[in-house]
């Protein structure tokens, strides 16, 4: 019985932690808290990514280089413009949207090149 209860609460705790972290980040951005708190919040997603790299990545050197580069970029942006926390959230979103755009364009290109369906043959009378 205790095992079923633990299985139920794990996803709930994960969702609450993710929502709580988002709320904390937004409150820090809006209220202008100290630089130490901002840097700590920037390090949490990078630490989670570092944990994933250490455990599961096949090409660890490449991932570590990307992680160190992103960390340095975020730190420099935070020190110069005080936008490091915004950059820490903007860079992954931009990367995800770029990959999605590439996948969608590749699928659309391969779809339109097929001989079974052509936009010109369907609309001709």
Residues 61-118 have pLDDT tens digits of 888 888 888 888 878 887 887 777 777 777 777 878 888 898 888 888 777 666 555 5
Residue 2 within any structural domain of the chain: no
Tell me whether residue 17 is in a domain: no
67: which residues sit within 8 A by CB, 6+ positions away? 46, 49, 50, 53
The answer to whether residue 69 is domain-embedded is yes
User: How many C-beta atoms surround the C-beta of residue 74 within 10 A?
Assistant: 24
Supply the pLDDT for residue 122.
Answer: 55
The percentage of the chain sitting over the pLDDT mark of 90, rounded to a whole number, equals 1
Give the residue numbers spanning the domain of 96.
34-122
Within a domain: 12: no
Q: In the predicted model, what is the mean pLDDT of the chain? A: 75
Number of structural domains, the chain?
Answer: 1
**pLDDT value at position 120?**
57
Residue 22 CA: distances (Å) to CA of 18, 34, 40, 95, 102: 6, 17, 14, 19, 28
Query: Is 71 inside a domain boundary?
Result: yes
pTM: 0.51
């Amino acid at each position: 019985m205790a095992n079923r209860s633990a299985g139920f609460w794990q996803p709930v705790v994960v969702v609450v932690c993710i929502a709580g972290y988002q709320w904390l980040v937004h409150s820090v951005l809006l209220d202008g808290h100290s630089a130490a708190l901002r840097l700590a919040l920037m390090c949490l997603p990078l630490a989670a990514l570092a944990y994933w790299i250490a455990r599961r990545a096949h090409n660890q050197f490449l991932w570590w280089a990307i992680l160190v580069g992103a960390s340095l970029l975020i730190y420099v942006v935070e020190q110069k413009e005080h936008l490091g926390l915004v950059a820490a959230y903007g860079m992954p979103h931009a990367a995800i949207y770029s990959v999605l755009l590439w996948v969608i364009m590749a699928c659309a290109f391969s779809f339109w090149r097929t001989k079974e369906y052509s936009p010109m043959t369907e609309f001709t009378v």
